[in-house]
Amino acid sequence: MTNSPAAFTEETVDIAGISVQLRSGGSGEPLLVLHGELGVPDWLEAHELLARHYSVCVPSLPGFGTSSFPDWLMSVRDLSAWVNWFVRECGLATPLNVVGFSMGGWIAAELATTNSALFSKMVLVGAAGLKPREGEIWDYFLNSAKDAFQQSFHDHESAQYLKYYGRDWTPDEAEQVETNREAAIRYLWRPYMHSVTLPDLLPAIATPTLLVWGRQDGIVPISSCELYQQGIANAQVAVMEDCGHMPEMEKPEEFANTVLGFLKG
Amino acid sequence: MFIGHFTEEPWQKEDWPVEWGSGVMAVSNAEYDPVRASNLYHRYIDEKVYAEEMGFDGIMVNEHHSAPFCMNGVANVKASILARVTNKAKILLLGNILPIHDDPLWLAESLAMIDVISRGRLIPGVVRGGGSESLTHNIPPHYNRERFEEAHDFLIKTWTTPGPFRWEGKHFHYRYVNPWAVPYQKPHPPIWVPGTSSRETVEWCARHRYPYIMLASQIDLTQQMYQVYYDTAREVGYEAGPQHLGFMFFFHVEETEERAIEVGRTLTQGVRSPYDPGAQRPKPWIAGPPGIATKSARALRRKMTAADSSGRTRAGARATFEDQVATHGMVVGTPDSVIPKVRYILEQLRPGTIIFRTGDGAMDHESQMRTLKLMGEEVMPKLREIADELGLPGPYDIDPMTNEPVTAMAS
Amino acid sequence: MFIGHFTEEPWQVPDWPDEWGTGIHKVSNAEYDPYRAANLYNRYLDEKIYAEEVGFDGLMVNEHHSAPFCMNGVANVQASILARITTKVKILLLGNILPIHDDPLWLAEQLAMIDVISRGRLIPGIVRGSGGESISHNIPPHYNRERFEEAHDFLIKTWTTPGPFRWEGKHFHYRYVNPWAVPYHKPHPPIWVPGTSSRETVEWCARHRYPYVMLSTQLELTREMFKIYYETAEEEGYEAGPQHMGYMFFVHVEETKARAMEVGRTLTQGVRSPFDPGVQRPIPWIMSPPGLNSRKAVALRRQMTAPDATGKTRAGALASFEDQVATRGMIVGTPEQCVEDIRYIMDYLRPGIIIFRTGDGAMDHESQMRTLKLMGEEVLPAMRDIAKELGLPGPYEVDPATNEPVTALAS
């Protein structure tokens, strides 16, 4: 791992009806990153590792970060329609690779069910969207924001947990967390973090898919991984040991290698 | 002057662990003993019937969910009963939690039936509800205000427009609205709104000319909220008056001062509302899930309830019984000693509606009956005289919608 | 033997135009006069109190929407009142229309409160409801049965499982189910189901061992439905008995046969239920929107209710008052004559539950009170003797869930 400063740009652009907070870096084929329900706090180490091979594009989804949040976005399906619009207006060459985390994984799966020409390869990481066969998706809204990050990480000593979450927040950071929760709640409220129809649509997916799951995922139980695997033809699975819901932050290197191995393979 | 009576109808049990507090979304309903519950429900109904007999103008009922401090999970059940077992008092629902209804046509139908059975005595107040109400009914908190406003508009339209009509809103959809029950009162039953310290709610209320009942027990905070009402009324183009403003406070009266203090103290004991002074608040993410309050409302409330230089919060989160008595948050004493205290409140706030909160907390039935009797015999007649002297018309003296004297009542 | 009382609580007005029929989904609620309504609601409540006094075991209440023939738009309002103003009788809700509730937690909370206030006297029956109910509340008719079953399962779980728990179903979603009110009756209040001629409903009912109350006025059709119950029970591995079977029919009793015929006829006049014999059915696409019933069920019902060789339908769509009296669809006469006819029904159907439908249609209050008095003094005692003689235990003598004798009642 290198200690060189992250080569990325952060800008605000008007795309697809939204003022989007957009972080991007690297070069080569585009790789779209769809963050999870907690938003994305920074250009992360994992993004940097991927950017050595791809042109990585990390938009803050509508309502998250500093992106705008119009009323018409009410559901994950609306959000997936918006991502499709974003890809086109951004001029990203399709089909393109996508990595979706938790809620972002659900968005990618929804898109892949409707348009097999959009993604060349798809990586779903701790993806929400399906009602687990065993256990329940952890309830963000009966718990505090602090609890959510604690629950998301298996290792509370890991560097990025301590850097971003496992410390006192500034008022601005606290306000940003609350803003992200306000966005998440609108998309995920009912049915809670899952679709009742997605399971029957998964066989429509023709995109080569990798499912990445932390063995100790405390948000979306690993039984959901099995459901995705059963639903999507030829889906591969990579379970990361001693790892929670955010492998990209908890074990960035192992995570990036796993993803790159799949995308290059 | 409109004088109402309120008990939150708390669960009462001697060995309720202190750490369970109000019990809101914290205690399993395995603790709910239905035999004890039936005795409590009937006791509270008996007390309401007696309050009517003692001369109260209105009997207030409220509602909370998964909340042992308020046994009315469905206030309309209680309101239904009161419609039949009382015959003079107004039934003051403060109120139905509009946003947590997915299908407000049920409310339109239920409330119309209750108004009709009571022969026009229903005041179907409306509230937005705390976070726990949305969480228990799994209703999107982030649409709380939108749903509140749309449900309100739907109720008013259903009650005033001959059916059938169609309603295609954002949150509610009907193709055939034509319930075979519409209210007794025309054009529709009066809407009142209770509140604590939401500026947005006061403004909404003032724009609709609905009486606003402040539930806080703090005189100066209440004055500020009333000022918001007066200011908004002027912007809208009318002059607000006592008929638009109400105030609720704890009350206990006994034959001797000593006894009043001793028994009155039980109001601050037992299973208490998390909204009461000195009670433990629910967890912030339960009380305020994401999106239930706007950013500006959040900031304003934080400011209004911030601790002062002495470390006391204005909401009185740490207020003891003695503190509350000293600051008129609770009025406790003999009939002779409480009159000047209530007079002080009337002079300071000039409300047209006051609601006595009695028999709450850990207070027993006998003490509640004693206080109601003294109120009926000695306190209320004097208060009515004072109200006349101070010129404090209630909403059944001056119509808040028109500011005209009420001549003939719909009922 | 369990003997219940029922009035559909129709709107009554002398000048109701014939062509308005039942008024269901047809007449604007501009016709609803709340003063008349207040008198009618309170009249019907008075009659129910009297029915308890003369010895009925249960008071049945039902619900329809946008339907002048049934003034209870929200049966739970009346059930709430009965919980407080009666003391012995069962409150028999037949029933809440489960599929038209978007949020069945409201039902769980309301019904628990009503059961507790009544000290365990509630029978919270459930129905699927016809098309009119789904259309009024704008609830997807095509998910009617799924929603019925999911809401039922949710209610039972909420009433029997200590909270909090989560419910992620197809139609209903909750993250914190833990209402601070659970029923008085353990493990949960008894569920009864009324029906007319849906085979699927009878089978569902038999599989759950819930008493099935046939509302039809046709003995033969009823016996066929009971037979389905018996057969399904056998498949399930238990023996059904009278405790599982109920039957409702019109009754009017007077001192003389002539008077009984003259006054009894008013049961078939006025604003009537579209489900009654001789009444015009509502528009088919309102009654049965696409998907409300399975194709198989529709075909079966068509077959079961097809006209016979004489051109009369089995559902008695064209039945006159005289026809109905002649075929024992209505029992009208002196106490002795009525007892004789009822013995025939009891012998033929062997039900453990009988529900008298009285005071309905255009019948006035005085006639209803007269017939209730005669029933209490002469008919009910005779029926109880006959039930003993014929061996017809009701569900409070032999528990339908276990077939064991009921020893101590939860209430």
User: What is the pLDDT, as a whole number, of residue C311?
Assistant: 56
Given a contact cutoff of 8 angstroms between Cβ atoms, the answer to whether A215 and A254 are in contact is no
The pLDDT of residue A86? 98
Q: Mean of the pLDDT values across residues B291-298?
A: 79
Measure CB to CB from residue B141 to each of A143, A178, A185 and give the nearest one: A185
Average pLDDT over residues B212-231: 92
The whole-number average pLDDT for the span A13-22 is: 97
C-beta atoms of C83 and B81 within 8 A: yes
What is the nearest CA distance from B132 to chain A, expressed in angstroms? 9
Which of left, alpha, beta for C332 (phi over 0: left; psi -120 to 50: alpha)?
Answer: beta
Q: What's the pLDDT at A1?
A: 41
Q: CA-nearest residue of chain A to B137?
A: A190
A45-88 per-position pLDDT tens digit: 999 999 999 999 999 999 999 999 999 999 999 999 999 999 99
Contact B101 C103 (CB under 8 A): yes
Number of structural domains, chain C? 1
Residues on A contacting C at a C-beta cutoff of 8 Å: 131, 136, 139, 141-142, 190-192, 194, 196
A contacts of C173 (beta carbons < 8 Å): 190-192
Provide mean pLDDT across the span A109-134.
96
Please report all neighbours of B, defined by 3+ CB atom pairs within 8 A. Answer: A, C
Domain boundaries, chain A: 9-264
Of A104, A95, A102, residue with least CA distance to A60: A104
Subunit contact A190:C173, Cβ cutoff 8 A: yes
The pLDDT value given to residue B127: 96
Compute CA distances C368 → C5, C41, C253, C271, C365, whole Å: 11, 14, 9, 16, 5
What would the mean pLDDT of B145-173 be, rounded to a whole number?
97
What are the structural domains of chain B? 2-390 (3.20.20.30)
Is the minimum CB–CB distance between C173 and chain A shorter than 8 Å?
yes
C interface test, pick of A188, A192, A223 with most C CB neighbours within 10 Å: A192
With CA atoms as reference, report the closest residue to B92 among B325, B301, B248, B308: B248
Section C78-84 average pLDDT: 98
| Vertex C46 angle, CA C45 and C47, to 5° | 90
> What CATH number does residue C131 fall under?
3.20.20.30
| Among B25, B138, B291, beta carbon nearest to A182 | B291
C166–A196 CB contact, under 8 Å: no
B chain contacts of residue A182, beta-carbon cutoff 8 Å? 142, 290-291
Q: Is residue C111 part of a domain?
A: yes
**Better-predicted residue by pLDDT, B273 or C184:** C184
Q: Residue C128: which domain range?
A: 2-390
- Collect all residues of chain B within an 8 Å Cβ-Cβ radius of residue A38: none
Per-residue pLDDT, C288: 79
Contacts of B29 in chain C (CB under 8 A): 162-163, 178-182
**pLDDT of residue C182 exceeding 50:** yes
Residues of A in contact with B283 (CB under 8 A): 144
Nearest to B29 among C119, C173, C178 (CB): C178
Query: For residue B328, is pLDDT > 70?
Result: yes
Res. B308 pLDDT band, cuts 50 70 90: low
C218 has pLDDT over 90: no
Residues 137-156 of C with CB under 8 A from B: 137-139
**Percentage, residues of chain B above pLDDT 90:** 81
pLDDT digits (tens, 9 = 90+) for B198-214: 899 999 999 999 999 99
Continuous H helices in C55-174: 75-85, 105-117, 131-136, 144-160
pLDDT tens figures, C220-258: 889 999 999 999 999 999 999 999 999 999 999 999 999
Closest by Cα among B101, B104, B157, B107 to B129: B101
Q: Which of C29, C38, C103 sits opposite B178 (nearest CB)?
A: C29
Spatial separation of the C-alpha atoms in residues B299 and B294, rounded to whole Å: 9
| Averaged pLDDT, B319-342 | 92
Residue B313 has pLDDT above 90, yes or no: no
Cβ contacts (< 8 Å) between B42 and chain C: which residues?
84, 117
B285 contacts in chain A (CB < 8 Å): 141-145
Task: Dump pLDDT digits (tens) for B396-410.
Answer: 999 999 999 998 654
Q: Are strands B58-61 and B2-6 parallel, antiparallel or unpaired?
A: parallel
Segment A243-257 shows an average pLDDT of 98
C-alpha distances in Å from residue B196, one per residue of B199, B222, B281, C64 = 9, 8, 14, 39
Optimal mutation site among A76, A182, A188, A193, interface B, most CBs of chain B within 10 A: A182
Average pLDDT, chain C: 92
The answer to whether A35 and A101 have CB atoms below 8 angstroms apart is: yes
Q: How far away is chain A from the Cα of B63, in angstroms, using its nearest Cα?
A: 21
In angstroms, what separates the C-alpha of B322 from chain C's closest C-alpha?
Answer: 31
Q: Which value, to the nearest 10 degrees, does the dihedral of the CA atoms of residues A57, A61, A62, A65 take?
A: -90
pLDDT score recorded for residue B317:
47
| Mean local confidence (pLDDT), C361-390 | 98
SS (H, E, C) chain B: CEEEEECCCCCCCCCCCHHHCCCCCCCCHHHCCHHHHHHHHHHHHHHHHHHHHCCCCEEEECCCCCCCCCCCCCHHHHHHHHHHHCCCCEEEEEEEEHHHCCCCHHHHHHHHHHHHHCCCCEEEEEECCCHHHHHHCCCCHHHHHHHHHHHHHHHHHHHHCCCCEEEECCCCEEEEECCCCCCCCCCCCCCCEEECCCHHHHHHHHHHCCCEEECCCCHHHHHHHHHHHHHHHHHHCCCCCHHHEEEEEEEEECCCHHHHHHHHHHHHCCCCCCCCCCCCCCCHHHHCCCCCCCHHHHHHHHHHCCECCCCCECCCCCCCHHHHHHCCCEEEECHHHHHHHHHHHHHHHCCCEEEEECCCCCCCHHHHHHHHHHHHHHHHHHHHHHHHHHCCCCCCCECCCCCCECCCCCC
Yes or no, beta carbons of C29 and B180 under 8 Å apart: yes
Quick check: C280 pLDDT over 80? no
- Per residue in C134-153, pLDDT tens? 999 999 999 999 999 999 99
The C-alpha of A128 sits at a distance from chain B's nearest C-alpha, in angstroms, of: 19
A186–B291 CB contact, under 8 Å: yes
- Please give the pLDDT value at position B303: 66
For C:26-65, CB contacts with B below 8 A are 28-30, 32, 34-35, 37-38, 41-42, 45, 65
Percent residues over pLDDT 90 in chain C: 79
Q: What per-residue confidence (pLDDT) applies to B31?
A: 96
The tokens for C194 are: 């009324």
What is the tens place of the pLDDT at every residue in B18-58? Answer: 889 889 999 999 999 999 999 999 999 999 999 999 999 99
CB contact under 8 A, C175 and A191: no
CA distance C168 to chain A (A): 7
Hey, what CATH topology would domain A9-264 get?
A: Rossmann fold (3.40.50)
Q: Which tops the pLDDT comparison, C191 or B296?
A: C191
Which residues, at least 6 apart from A165, have a Cβ–Cβ distance to it below 8 Å?
A: A146, A149, A150, A153
User: A-B interface: how many C-beta pairs under 8 angstroms?
Assistant: 34
User: Per residue in A204-218, pLDDT tens?
Assistant: 999 999 999 999 999
C410 has pLDDT over 90: no
Question: Given CA atoms A131, A134, A137, A142 in this order, what sign does their dihedral have?
Answer: positive
Closest Cα of chain A to B9: distance in Å? Answer: 26
pLDDT at C87 over 80: yes
Look at residue A6 in the predicted model and tell me its pLDDT: 58
Average pLDDT over residues C344-357: 98
Chain B partners within 8 Å of A142 (Cβ): 25, 135, 285-286
Report, as an integer, the average pLDDT of A175-188: 95
Percent of chain C exceeding pLDDT 70 equals 95
Beta bridge partners of C355: C4, C248
CB contact under 8 A, A185 and B289: yes
The predicted model gives B73-79 an average pLDDT of 97
**pLDDT at residue B411 is higher than 50:** no
| Among candidates B29, B85, B180 on the partner chain, residue whose Cβ is nearest the Cβ of C66 | B180
